[in-house]
Structure 1
Amino acid sequence: MKQDKQKTLDRLARLEGQVRGVSRMVEEDRYCVDILAQTAAIRSALKAVERLVLENHARHCVEEAISEGPDAQREKFSELIALLQKAQG
């Protein structure tokens, strides 16, 4: 769990740096195509963070719900469906 958390925090720190870099690019009137390439990289990195968090949720929260019984299972299943719908949104 701690390793997953650190991996997620590391990726978020990289994302933060990428966003600051894009801000600088805009301030410096850099070429639009270069800016768009960086925003595409940010989107891809953010999706990777979402996958990590979702995997962690499935590994820990859903696994726990399985041992708790049908009501908890239904609740976690509904949460996962809602998350997936938002991700595709």
Structure 2
Amino acid sequence: MDENNLEHDCCAVSNDRKSHHSEKTKKNLITRLNRIEGQIRGVKGLIEKDTYCDDVLNQISSIQAALNGVGKLLLEHHMKSCVIERIQEGDHEVIDEILTTMNKLMK
């Protein structure tokens, strides 16, 4: 599989279902998650310092938006590869799976 195909091939269709992100995608996701991890540590520090609640809540809102961004990116890659491939293979159960996942993401 070449690098271009790997960019959009997020999941292998098998019983052990693993993701297969390109190195570029993995690096992007890990960078975003490291930033979010730092933001969470920052909020913990704000609470320890008795920072004004509104300031802490604004930081939490920023973290939620960043997590939503990671989720959207993963969902996009998943739908463009795994979901399409499984439908093309006749596996229509993937539609219920993705609907369940999207409902969880939209809570």
TM-score interval, normalised by the smaller of the two chains: 0.7 to 0.9
Residue 83 (structure 1) aligns with: 101
1:39-84 deviation per Cα after TM superposition (whole angstroms, max 9, x unaligned):
0000100100110110111122012213312xx1x12111111011
Q: What amino acid does structure 2 have at the position aligned with 1:84?
A: M
| Structure 2 partner of 1:63 | 84
> Quick one: percent identity of the two aligned structures?
40
- Measure the CA separation in 1 of the matches of 2:95 and 2:25: 22
Q: In the alignment, residue 59 of structure 1 is paired with which amino acid? A: K
2:29 aligned partner: 8
The answer (yes or no) to whether the contact 1:4–1:56 under 8 Å persists in 2 is: no
- List structure 1 runs of 4+ shifted beyond 4 angstroms: none
Structure with higher helix content = 1
Runs of at least 5 residues in structure 2 that lack an aligned partner in the other structure: 1-6, 8-21
Could you tell me how far apart the structure 2 residues matched to 1:37 and 1:6 are? 27
How many residue pairs match? The answer is: 86
Q: Which whole-Å CA distance do the structure 2 matches of 1:5 and 1:75 have between them?
A: 27
Q: In structure 2, how many angstroms separate the alpha carbons of the residues matched to 1:34 and 1:85?
A: 30
CA RMSD of aligned residues (A): 1.2
| Residue ranges of structure 1 left out of the alignment (5+ in a row) | none
Alignment equivalent of 2:50, drawn from 29, 42, 48 = 29
